[in-house]
């Protein structure tokens, strides 16, 4: 893509811990386009953190807001959009994303994901008695959906953020 110009928004999808936000932000900087983040927009609109939204209003409410935010961002602006790990599961969201953007699955192995999320407390879905087992269950259930993304880019434990940006640009 030409810096500063995109035909379609580049939408980062994949599991929590895959690097969607870090890589998406660096990719947007490299391309000189806006960086958009659906989780961040949901939090800003609600004036609450994601764990607070989940505990006060429940996951279905969060998913509703997520869909609205993704639709709005895809319509308003072209840039790089990082989505939450559950965003690409609903058919409605996939249709929105596929029509309005080009989806990039940041694929990472379970161990890599676990090492990145294990010390954080920001993911309400992992607040279980065995968060690693929960992550594995989510991973197994979600991979078939992520595989529907337009492009797949491998995120291993070693690759730097800038290397990941190179890989996405090669794939585009």
The binder of ligand S3P chosen from 25, 39, 79, 102 (CB under 6 A) = 39
19 binds ligand S3P (CB under 6 A): no
Q: How far apart are the C-alpha atoms of 142 and 35, rounded to whole Å? A: 25
The binder of ligand S3P chosen from 123, 139, 155, 159 (CB under 6 A) = 123
Q: How many amino acids of this chain bind ligand S3P (CB under 6 A)?
A: 11
86 binds ligand S3P (CB under 6 A): yes
Is 22 labelled as part of a ligand binding site?
yes
110 binds ligand S3P (CB under 6 A): no
Q: Are the CB atoms for 75 and 101 separated by under 8 Å?
A: no
46 binds ligand S3P (CB under 6 A): no
For the CB of residue 2, give the shortest distance to ligand S3P in the complex, in Å. 28
Pick 32 or 61: Cβ nearer ligand S3P: 61
> Under 8 Å CB-to-CB from 8, ≥6 apart: which residues?
78, 100, 101, 102
Taking CA 88 as the corner, what is the angle to CA 1 and CA 164, rounded to the nearest 5 degrees?
Answer: 40
Pick 32 or 45: Cβ nearer ligand S3P: 45
Q: Are the CB atoms for 59 and 104 separated by under 8 Å?
A: no
Beta strands in the chain (DSSP E): 9-13, 35-37, 80-82, 101-107, 151-154
Is 63 labelled as part of a ligand binding site?
yes
Dihedral sign, Cα of residue 81, residue 82, residue 87, residue 91 = positive
Residues making contact with ligand S3P (CB under 6 A) = 16, 20-21, 39, 50, 84-86, 123-125
């Amino acid at each position: 893509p030409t810096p500063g110009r995109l035909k379609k928004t580049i939408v980062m999808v994949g599991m929590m811990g895959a690097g969607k936000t870090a890589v998406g932000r660096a990719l947007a900087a490299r391309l000189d386009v806006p960086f958009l983040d659906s989780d961040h927009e949901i939090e800003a609109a609600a004036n609450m953190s994601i764990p607070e939204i989940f505990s006060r209003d429940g996951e279905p409410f969060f998913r509703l807001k997520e869909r609205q935010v993704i639709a709005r961002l895809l319509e308003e602006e072209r840039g790089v959009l990082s989505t939450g790990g559950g965003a690409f599961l609903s058919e409605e969201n996939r249709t929105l994303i596929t029509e309005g953007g080009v989806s990039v699955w940041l694929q990472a192995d379970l161990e890599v994901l676990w090492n990145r999320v294990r010390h954080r407390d920001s993911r309400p879905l992992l607040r279980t008695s065995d968060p690693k087992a929960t992550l594995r269950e989510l991973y197994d259930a979600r991979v078939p959906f992520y595989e529907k993304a337009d492009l797949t880019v491998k995120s291993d434990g070693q690759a730097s953020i800038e290397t990941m940006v190179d890989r996405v640009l090669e794939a585009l």
